[in-house]
Amino acid sequence: MVLKNLFRITRLSKSVNCFLKSVKIFYSPGIFLWVILIFNSNLVKAQIQFGFNSNFKYLKGSDASTISTNWITDEFDDSDWTSGNAPFRYTDGTGGIVLSDMQNNYSTLYLRTTFNATNTQNIKEVQISVNYDDGFVIWMNGSEVLRQNAPATLNNNSLATFDHESGTPATFIIDSSKIDLFEGVNTICVQGLNVLISSSDFYFDMSINASLSLPEVSDTIKPVFSAKAGFYNSPFNLTLQSPEAQYNLIYTIDGSNPQSSLSAVKVEDDTIININPSSISGRAATPVFMVRASLVKDGFSPSRPTTKSFIFIENVKTQVYPGGDWPSSSVNDQVIDLPMDPDVVNDSRYSSHIITALTEIPSISLVTDNSNLFDPSTGIFVNAKLHGEEWERECSVEMINPDGSDGFQINAGLRMRGGNSRNPWYPKHAFRLFFRKEYGAGKL
């Protein structure tokens, strides 16, 4: 029953809890920054560096009615295209190429350029940052690698499917196995899209970065926690230990992934963490105190994290807006309502049953990073209508038994699920979980 319902998460409640029909979810994200921690700078050198404001060949959609389908390949001759440096824009931003004739004339822009990649066999992930208004599709060496707000069928009159404002670049991490990278020169092609031919603005610029990937510490050995995940009534001190002297610890208490988070704390010895849900030092005041820990040593990147969720049930009853980087209002018109409903908690018919109800069946704790859910550009919960693997985010999944018996913890991929319920006027969305070796175990 529990495993069946892992794939049927049906509501984001008025607290930090999501409830299944037969399994509860204490939902506890934190902060995420797409930054790779580097512990030995002598071993790490950028393998791809393609910056903002780079030079492209470009063709306006009004001149592309007969463009060949092979325009996305390195065989295409773009010698008669115009050349210029990004950003490509009108109204928004400064510098670059101003498309003063775009409004009411064409809705698409075609871009081509090249970048160099070295030691591609050692590149694990490619980071693409895009500042855009309103949509785009990106191809590398003839294969599509990323799209945002783009229709299924493309032509020179295509329109973006949603409005998106430029200003803050959206960052996407793509596994190198999904990109046909060449050693040396690679071709990148972009089709930029405006939401309306009469739109008052347009903007496109991008960067690509990748670094040498260090081997990862194996997650067959794990950090040692002095306490189990579960339900607690009072704050306590948790001891976090390395199982072997050759490894150091790196951990977070804000829900972020210690493999990549700037808030991660690295320690060489055993450490004590005060587990107190009221603490706002390095975390938001959620009633679930999360610790995510990895092992690391010189010449290796951190292991995949082990996560423990400590649930303070009395604090769940009185959950209010927790602060931190939790959204305090709607995002992309998606309603976000975090506090427990006092009309329920304080109702004499229910108040004496809340604790019993919350501990009557196993609980599922999903821990991921707040930006994975609520970032206006890349958060899956506030862009719930978008599909595909590019809209999957890393998370930790724990099953916590109320009697204290062993449950499980596993790392997985998290996506939205549903049809019409994905629309933003539905305050509650469903989730799907994916178990693949890129997260750890390939199956539950």
Q: Cβ neighbours of residue 356 under 8 Å, at least 6 residues apart? A: none
What average pLDDT score do residues 181-205 get?
96
Q: Which residue has the higher pLDDT, 18 or 212?
A: 212
**Whether residue 163 is found in the same domain as residue 256:** no
Section 135-140 average pLDDT: 97
Specify the number of domains making up the chain: 2
Domain shared by 260 and 358, yes or no: yes
Joined together, the tokens standing for residue 341 give 């409903």
The pLDDT confidence band at residue 5, using thresholds 50, 70 and 90, is very low
pLDDT at 212: 73
Residue 69, φ and ψ in degrees, nearest 5: -70, -15
pLDDT (tens digit, 9 = 90+) per residue, 97-128? 999 999 999 999 999 999 999 888 888 889 99
Among 307, 319, 416, smallest CA distance to 358 is for: 319
Q: Are residues 280 and 174 in the same domain?
A: no
Residue 18 has pLDDT above 80, yes or no: no
Whether residue 133 is predicted with pLDDT greater than 80 in this model: the reply is: yes
Of 211, 228, 261, the one marking the end of a domain is 211
Give the model confidence (pLDDT) of 322-336 as tens digits: 999 999 999 999 989
Q: Which of 163, 178, 211 is the last residue of a domain?
A: 211
- Residue numbers of the domain that contains 350: 2-36+217-434
Least confident residue range of 38-42, 215-219, 349-353: 38-42
Instruction: Write down the pLDDT at residue 36.
Output: 24
Tell whether the model's pLDDT for residue 160 goes beyond 70: yes
The label of the residue with tokens 């996407």 reads 172
Q: What is the mean pLDDT of the chain?
A: 87
Domain identity same for 61 and 104: yes
Does 221 share its domain with 205?
A: no
The share of the chain scoring above pLDDT 70, in percent, equals: 90
Under DSSP, is residue 334 helix (H, G, I), strand (E, B) or coil?
Answer: strand
Interval 149-156 mean pLDDT:
95
Whether residue 30 has pLDDT greater than 60: no
Tell me, what's the pLDDT at 32? Answer: 30
Of 17-21, 189-193, 253-257, 288-292, give the lowest mean pLDDT range. Answer: 17-21
Q: Do 174 and 274 lie in a common domain?
A: no
Confidence class for position 16, pLDDT limits 50, 70, 90:
very low
Torsion of CA 19, 25, 26, 29, to 10 degrees: -110
Residue that is written with structure tokens 């560096």 in the block: 49
Output the pLDDT for position 90.
95
Q: How far apart are CA 273 and CA 278, in angstroms?
A: 14
Cα distances from 295 to residues 19, 219, 238, 435, in angstroms, run: 32, 8, 17, 22
pLDDT band at 50 (very low <50, low <70, confident <90, very high): very high
Among 211, 226, 245, identify where a domain stops.
Answer: 211
- The b/e string for 90-107 (b: 16+ C-beta within 10 A; e otherwise) is bbbbeebbebeebbeebb
DSSP 3-state helix, strand, coil percentages of the chain (rounded to 5)?
A: 10, 35, 55
| Cα dist from 376 to 161, 171, 422, whole Å | 16, 12, 15
Residue 398 has pLDDT above 50, yes or no: yes
**Same domain, yes or no: 259 and 341:** yes
Of 221-225, 242-246, 307-311, 424-428, the poorest mean pLDDT is in 424-428
Tokens of 223: 């950090």
For every residue of 18-43, DSSP letters joined together read EE-SS-EEEE--B--------S-TTT
Q: Are residues 324 and 191 in the same domain?
A: no
Is-above-0.85 flag for pTM? Answer: no
393 contact partners, CB below 8 Å, separation of at least 6: 368, 369, 372, 373, 380, 413, 414, 415
Report which DSSP code applies to 367: E
CA neighbor of 293 nearest in space, from 363, 365, 221: 221
What 3 state SS string does 123-184 have?
ECEEEEEEEEECEEEEEECCEEEEEECCCCCCCCCCCCCCCCCCCCCEEEEEEHHHCCCCCE
**Does 108 share its domain with 247?**
no
Enter the tokens of residue 6: 């892992």
pLDDT given at position 44: 41
Percentage of residues of the chain with pLDDT beyond 90: 70
pLDDT greater at residue 387 or residue 30: 387
* Shared domain check, 71 and 174: yes
Separation CA 289–CA 365 (nearest Å): 11
Picking from 13-22, 85-94, 333-342, 396-405, which range would have the lowest pLDDT averaged per residue?
Answer: 13-22
Same domain, 235 and 342: yes
* CA proximity to 105, closest of 53, 61, 43: 61
Are 17 and 25 spatial neighbours (Cβ–Cβ below 8 Å)?
A: yes
Is the distance from CB of 226 to CB of 239 less than 8 angstroms?
A: yes
For every residue of 178-229, DSSP letters joined together read GS-PPSEEEEEEEEEE-S-TT-S-EEEEEEEEEEBPPPBPPTTS--EESS-S
Identify the pLDDT of residue 425.
Answer: 85
Residue 156 and residue 10 share a domain: no
Tell me the H-state helices in 281-379: 313-317, 342-345, 354-358, 370-374
The bridge status of strand 306-312 relative to strand 230-232 is parallel
